[in-house]
Amino acid sequence: MLTRSGEKRRHMERKEAKALHIRRSSMLAVLDLLLTTLQELTEEQLKIFQSHLTIGRMLGFPPIPESQLENTDRQDTVDQMVERYGPEGAVEITVEILREMNQHDLAKKLQRDHRASPTDVPSTVSAVSPADPPANPSAPPGRAFIRRHRIALETRLGLLQPIFLRLQNRGVLIDEEREEVDSKSTKTLQNQALLDMVVKKGFRAQEHFYQVLKEVDPCLVEDLEEQAV
């Protein structure tokens, strides 16, 4: 006869086994979705997609070394993304790269199929994925804005000093971080460094950045958002 502690332990073991099964199912579903998506690309488009992965700056994700993607097929590319970014991160960055490549229909299909996949089954792992906020109208728009327009922001951000001052006043940046950005040799590198810092600080910092940019350069924000419609 099992003691109360033994019953509790067995219950936890069943729960963990179920969670593991769900995670494995979710992983397989994501792998299949990503592979199916990349199979829609031509060989030339696949090379362009892979080149975005070697840059890796658009979402603050670390790049995949170019040597690891050289002469790789679609399956190897999927495996590299999932290994480096995790299943949810791999879906997120795939969607954004497809948008940058003007493959908007394919990006929407991946998002739609991903939301309908077993990755949404409740488990001990959070069911909220990084790809969910843009589809949620009530979610703060800052993160979605930076993710969608990361490459454009790297080249189109204007004077950084007004942005710095407002971000510092809001407690987002400190003097040392401002100096680190200023130390970069080119304007594009400075923009990249600033965006990297904001992304790494999370949702709150990204929302502050978005609101500050609307104050400092409303025309840029309006232009970028109109392009995304």
Supply the Cα-derived Rg of the chain in whole angstroms. 21
From the candidate CATH numbers 3.40.1130.10, 1.10.10.10, 1.10.533.10, 3.40.50.720, the one assigned to the domain spanning 18-135 = 1.10.533.10
Please check the confidence at residue 142 and state whether its pLDDT lies above 70.
yes
Could you tell me where the DSSP H helices lie in 4-65? 4-38, 43-55
Residues of the chain with pLDDT > 90, as a percent, come to: 34
Which residue intervals of the chain bear CATH 1.10.533.10? 18-135, 141-228
Model confidence at 117, pLDDT cuts 50, 70, 90, reads low
Model confidence at 56, pLDDT cuts 50, 70, 90, reads low
Read off the DSSP letter of residue 134.
Answer: G
pTM: 0.45
Structure tokens of 124? 């001990």
Residue, of 119 and 104, whose pLDDT is higher: 104
Cα within 13 Å of Cα(17), Cβ side: 6
Please check the confidence at residue 28 and state whether its pLDDT lies above 90.
no
What is the length of the chain?
229
In this prediction, residues 140-146 reach a mean pLDDT of 79
Cα 95 to Cα 89: distance, rounded to the nearest angstrom: 10
Indicate the fold that domain 141-228 takes in CATH.
Death Domain, Fas (1.10.533)
Read off the DSSP letter of residue 48.
Answer: H
Closest CA to 206 of 161, 159, 147: 147
Please check the confidence at residue 11 and state whether its pLDDT lies above 70.
no
